[in-house]
């Protein structure tokens, strides 16, 4: 019987690339996103590879909408095996003291609460079924401090804490939870951030020992490895994929 994965933020960027990479392994995909256009595009691409896929629209900052995407996935596919807990936003790139309270609330709502809600409802299904695997999307800003992303960094450090603490509680129940910490990566979210802050792109590229941004396909390869049976003894880890960006920090 085919396995099933939920991918949040699956309509573009890391989420879309991960959904397609998992589909190459024959895994059915529940694509969750706020964007119907992007989400449905991913569904079409997954189905073209062979597996089944559905799109579920959700604002992950709302607990009821998170519960709904979990319930609909179980209703359609029968169960959940894997979860790429990925949906997130970066913010405007303003210095912290120039940031509006509304922006802080939005970033925390999507990145922090959205991730927690996802873990709460998906992990419940996985544990009740004897286990499964989760990958959370952290960031280089979740393992070091970075300029212009104070709120974003706070949420991504939070992702690291969620990852480790969930393992401490539920590894004995067959749950594996890891996080990926991408550095600057060529995704629509990062492009929008760099478009608003062009000096930051040059600074980022110069600060990466490999002298280039990462790609979403490179991150997707790591996500697929961590979720599938190839990584059974990796648990509670935060794996950096950043071309050496944080290696000396």
Active site residues: 152
Helices (H), 26-174: 36-49, 63-77, 101-107, 114-128, 150-170
71, 130, 174, 220 from 124: Cα distances, Å: 11, 10, 12, 25
Q: Residue 6 is encoded by which pair of tokens?
A: 């939920």
Report how far apart the first and last C-alpha atoms of the chain are (Å, whole number). Answer: 45
Answer whether 214's CB lies under 8 Å from 183's CB: yes
Q: Dihedral, CA atoms, 65, 68, 73, 79, nearest 10 degrees?
A: 120
**Residue 97 contacts by C-beta under 8 Å, 6 or more apart in sequence?**
none
Which residue has tokens 């691409």?
A: 45
Answer whether 186's CB lies under 8 Å from 244's CB: no
Measured between alpha carbons, how far is 165 from 118 in angstroms, rounded to an integer?
Answer: 15
Handedness of CA 116, 154, 142, 189 (dihedral sign): positive
CA atoms within 13 A on the CB side of 85: 33
Q: What is the DSSP string of 203-221?
A: HHHHHSTTSS-EEHHHHHH
Which residue has tokens 């309509």?
A: 11
């Amino acid at each position: 019987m085919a396995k099933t994965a939920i991918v949040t933020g699956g309509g573009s960027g890391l989420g879309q690339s991960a959904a397609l990479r998992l589909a190459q392994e024959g895994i059915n995909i529940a694509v969750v996103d706020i964007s119907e256009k992007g989400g449905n595009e991913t569904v079409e691409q997954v189905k073209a590879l062979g597996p089944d896929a559905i799109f579920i629209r959700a604002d992950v900052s709302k607990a009821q909408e998170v519960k709904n995407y979990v319930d609909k996935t179980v209703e359609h596919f029968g169960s959940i095996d894997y979860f790429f807990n990925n949906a997130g936003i970066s913010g405007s790139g303003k210095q912290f003291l120039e940031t509006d309270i509304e922006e802080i609330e939005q970033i925390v709502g999507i990145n922090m609460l959205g991730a927690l809600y996802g873990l709460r409802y998906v992990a419940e299904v996985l544990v009740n079924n004897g286990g499964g695997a989760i990958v959370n999307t952290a960031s280089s800003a979740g393992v070091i401090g970075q300029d212009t992303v104070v709120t974003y960094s706070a949420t991504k450090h939070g992702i690291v804490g969620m990852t480790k603490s969930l393992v401490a509680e539920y590894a004995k129940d067959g749950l594996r939870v890891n996080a990926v910490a991408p550095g600057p990566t060529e995704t629509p979210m990062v492009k929008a951030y760099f478009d608003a802050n062009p000096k930051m792109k040059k600074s980022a590229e110069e600060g990466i020992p490999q002298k280039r941004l990462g790609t979403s396909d490179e991150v997707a390869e790591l996500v697929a490895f961590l979720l599938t049976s190839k990584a059974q003894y990796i648990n509670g880890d935060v794996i950096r994929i950043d071309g050496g960006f944080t290696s000396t920090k």
